[in-house]
Structure 1
Amino acid sequence: MAAGRATMLRAALGLIPRNRPETLPELTLDQAGVRVDRDHLAAYDRVCGFRLNDRLPPTYPHVLAFPLTMHLLTAPDFPFPAIGLVHITNRIIVHRPVSADMQFDLAVRAADLRPHDRGRQVDIVAAASVDGETVWTSTSTYLSRSSSSPTGAKPSDADPAPEPQATWRVPTRIGRDYAAVSGDRNPIHTSRIGARLFGFPKPIAHGMWSLARSLAALEGRLPDRYTVDARFQRPILLPARVQFAHEDGRFTLTGAKPHLAGQVTPA
């Protein structure tokens, strides 16, 4: 808990204006011998809607790697402040089924700093390996908006969404609940004041919660090896009512506006 507070303090201090480098830090942060705390896994499963079992949800290693990710994002030589980055896409590759009794080596690095029509974007690449074999990878793309950019994710053209199969009520507390199990305590998710400081009228749900909740709804339909591509569109203002739909590997989460579009592709 103390380490988490220290990381968030570094993130907050990163908002102080200063000259930042124009390139990414050339380092990989790693942690060997990571073990799953089954009580924590059960808490994560409950918050995100997964069944309680020893097979890890495809989004759970993202939580295991989150402390390394935050150390990277708050490093003095990272080109953007961590607070204010917008998570716009995520690709997860499950190379093989992953279980809670495995011991992981984690590695996180930044890659591919490039322009975006609303600022600049960067990939945070995380990998989990077991006995030298990569079993899971994730590429999270973050947008750093320029000062003239509008807030929110820019929706893109897409095929018509499938017909909704379920309606979910998303309570205000989901921001705090997911923060507790993920370690991501960004105030835009947990505080009305914090959300307003960044242009949101209410706290918003974590994008990775919306992805996890969607994949939980597909439990039992996912193959052993697959890729999940997700595009975060409009934030979910809490509380909310959203509709989930899926068809032929595609899935969507919509409310008054589209929130999430994803695709599951078997290996």
Structure 2
Amino acid sequence: MTTTRTFDKAPAGLPLMVKAALPALPVIGGLPGIKHEKGGLPRTVLRRTQVVTDLAHLERYNDVCGFARAETVPATYPHIAAHTLHLTLMTDTAFPFPPMGAVHLRNRITQYRPIGREEVYDLTLRADADEPHPKGRLISLVSEARIGGEIVWDETMTVLFRSRTGGDETTAPPLAGVEAPEGPVSWTLGGDLGRRYGAVSGDRNPIHLYPVTAKAFGFPRQIAHGMWTKARSLAALQNRLPDAYTVDVEFKKPILLPGTVRFGASTDGDVTTFGVRDARQGVPHLVGRITPA
């Protein structure tokens, strides 16, 4: 049976970040109430009602991600409103995987119509589609935004949780075989980008903040957020986006900060393919595709 939990405001982020870290600690991580239970995905729907856009916050988001001011919110913006719902779901001990160390591999957003800056919407989130991966399990976290019962936006985050119960993927990734276009546009990214985006997104994962905190998780220095890279790419294409579209991305090699990357895009009919590559070596960081919805 599906259980619905309803929130009339965003859950507080800091306690959830602490809760996310506890299962990774020796001894403490094995205690009742902290250790995650084994088993299937919880049949829980998290619902946040009457989401109102803080216009000052939206301006800060636009500034960090490169969007020009508009009367509607960027397609990536409702993801920010859903962030602490994601943490709430993944830190519940009924969720079978501890969240620290999870890897956001893919992201699909469909904007069925633009959401106005002053429109009020409801958000729901559920976990779905537990599938094998050579390094563990792929879990889909599905969010939907509705206005007056009409679905106006949805997102599927595909997250890898490392596990011994992995295997070959049973379905082909949406962007299998798609290459990131080479591009002439350079972006120079400062070392503080992760902190700046973390401040507006609420995602203050240590891997994005400072060299010392990133090194604790195996990175030579801090890395850019994948959802910043997706948002910055859409901002670069803002004048070409239709009102209704689906944008798929696959996150490749992390972007080390500070650094310089190149953005490129190509169009074939009504499909736009885009990508972000390392400016020196050409290694892809992100590949994406936009199709009409």
Shift of 1:163: 3.3
Of 229, 244, 254, which aligns to 1:235?
A: 254
Report the Cα distance in structure 1 between the residues aligned to 2:277 and 2:164, rounded to whole angstroms. 28
Question: Which residue identity lines up with residue 202 of structure 2 in the other structure?
Answer: G
Shift of 1:157: 6.4
What does residue range 1-267 of structure 1 map to in structure 2 within 5 Å? 3-15=12-24, 16-17=29-30, 18=35, 20-146=37-163, 158-248=177-267, 249-255=272-278, 256=281, 257-267=283-293
SS in 2 for 1:264: strand
* 185-194 or 207-216: bigger deviation: 185-194
Report the Cα distance in structure 2 between the residues aligned to 1:148 and 1:116, rounded to whole angstroms. 9
Residue number in structure 1 paired with 2:169: none
**Equivalences, count:** 262
Question: Which residue identity lines up with residue 30 of structure 1 in the other structure?
Answer: R
Moved over 3 A (4+): 146-149, 156-161
Q: Which structure's relative contact order is higher, taking Cα pairs within 8 Å and 6+ residues apart?
A: 1
Report the Cα distance in structure 2 between the residues aligned to 1:2 and 1:264, rounded to whole angstroms. 32
SS in 1 for 2:239: coil
- Counterparts in 2 of 1:157 and 1:135: CA distance versus 1, 3 Å: closer
Q: Is the 8 A contact 2:180 2:288 kept in 1?
A: no
Residue number in structure 1 paired with 2:6: none
Question: Which residue identity lines up with residue 231 of structure 1 in the other structure?
Answer: E
SS in 1 for 2:288: strand
In structure 2, runs of 5+ residues without a counterpart are: 1-9, 167-174
Q: Is the 8 A contact 1:165 1:246 kept in 2?
A: no
Report the Cα distance in structure 1 between the residues aligned to 2:226 and 2:59, rounded to whole angstroms. 20
TM-score by length of 1: 0.93
Report the Cα distance in structure 2 between the residues aligned to 1:136 and 1:159, rounded to whole angstroms. 25
Report the Cα distance in structure 1 between the residues aligned to 2:236 and 2:285, rounded to whole angstroms. 16
Report the Cα distance in structure 1 between the residues aligned to 2:160 and 2:149, rounded to whole angstroms. 32
Report the Cα distance in structure 2 between the residues aligned to 1:141 and 1:210, rounded to whole angstroms. 16
In structure 1, runs of 5+ residues without a counterpart are: 150-155
Bigger Rg, structure 1 or 2: 2
Shift of 1:99: 1.1
Report the Cα distance in structure 2 between the residues aligned to 1:220 and 1:66, rounded to whole angstroms. 27
**CA deviation string 1:74-120 (max 9, x = no partner):** 11111111121100000000011111111010001100111101111
**CA deviation string 1:205-237 (max 9, x = no partner):** 000000000000000100010000000000001
Shift of 1:22: 2.2
- Counterparts in 2 of 1:19 and 1:34: CA distance versus 1, 3 Å: closer
RMSD of the TM alignment (CA)?
Answer: 2.0
